[in-house]
């Protein structure tokens, strides 16, 4: 293996994945394991949907337990892995990733609870319990933002131990992730306003307008570092790998820009 992280010697994908696990810190391994359990939760509830049926769309659906389990599981694993390339003190890393892991579990648990209760999980103030859960989800969102912003800022520190191609991929991915957090915050804020003015159904419709922008910007944090990681397995010179990651970043940004523009128009006119 190269002495620069993200600059692996050529090898197989399986070998590279195994090196990710064996080289992981304890807190990262815990996050990987918990992320795997959240993914299993999503798959399990897909089975529940197949048996129980009901609508796939709408605020009351098994879809939310499925998609949030899969999304949070994948996100947790991604952040644990990508965060390993971010320069942080061991204690800080353990705290940030530990809090992020616990918060992911809490968010999925609350959303899944509401799915089993057959009531909306977001913007639901019908009962005291619903209000508590809705506010808990909002508070959890705030914690997610705080931990991810911490990692994003740290990713721009000098870190010669990580290959330039991986540093570029991680930094662009975190910038895109910040846009995803901004769109998520906008959806929540607009939805809360609609609920407080007596338009609960409109809240779900308006919030959904930004979902495409939220999704496309969120997944750059996985796609671009995964590309840099895969390129490192090919044995290409680092300079060429960095150029490829830069080109891919511009292409991703252009595609995301189109999706964001359409979503913003839908959001503003909804």
- Report how far residue 81's alpha carbon sits from residue 85's, in angstroms, rounded to the nearest whole number: 8
Phi, psi (deg, nearest 5) at residue 5: -65, 140
Nearest to 53 by CA among 45, 10, 163: 45
Per-residue pLDDT tens over the stretch 137-190: 989 989 999 999 999 999 999 999 999 999 999 999 999 999 999 888 787 776
Query: Whose structure tokens read 């992320």?
Result: 35
pTM of the complete model: 0.86
Give the lowest-confidence range in 87-101, 202-216, 237-251: 202-216
Token pair recorded at residue 109: 């648990």
């Amino acid at each position: 293996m190269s002495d620069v992280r993200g600059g692996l010697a050529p090898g197989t994908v399986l070998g590279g994945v195994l090196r990710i696990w064996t080289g992981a810190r304890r807190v990262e391994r815990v996050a990987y394991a918990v992320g795997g359990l959240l993914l299993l939760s999503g798959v399990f509830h897909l089975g529940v949907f197949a048996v129980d049926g009901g609508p796939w769309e709408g605020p009351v659906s098994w879809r939310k337990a499925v998609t949030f389990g899969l999304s949070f599981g994948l996100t947790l694993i991604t952040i644990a892995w990508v965060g390993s390339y971010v320069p942080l003190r061991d204690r800080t890393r353990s705290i940030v990733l530990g809090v992020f892991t616990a918060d992911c579990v809490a968010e999925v648990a609350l959303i899944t609870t509401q799915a089993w209760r057959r009531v909306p999980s977001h913007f639901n103030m019908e009962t005291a319990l619903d209000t508590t859960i809705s506010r808990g989800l909002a508070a959890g969102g705030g914690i997610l933002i705080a931990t991810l912003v911490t990692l994003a800022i740290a990713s721009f520190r000098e870190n010669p131990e990580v290959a330039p191609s991986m540093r570029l991929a991680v930094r662009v991915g975190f910038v895109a992730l910040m846009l995803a957090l901004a769109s998520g915050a906008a959806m929540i804020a607009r939805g809360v306003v609609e609920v407080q003015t007596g338009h609960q159904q409109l809240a779900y419709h308006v919030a959904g307008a930004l979902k495409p922008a939220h999704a496309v910007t969120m997944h750059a944090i996985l796609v671009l570092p995964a590309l840099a990681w895969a390129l490192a397995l090919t044995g290409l010179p680092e300079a060429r790998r960095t150029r490829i990651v830069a080109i891919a970043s511009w292409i991703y940004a252009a595609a995301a820009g189109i999706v964001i523009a359409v979503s913003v128009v839908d959001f503003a006119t909804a």
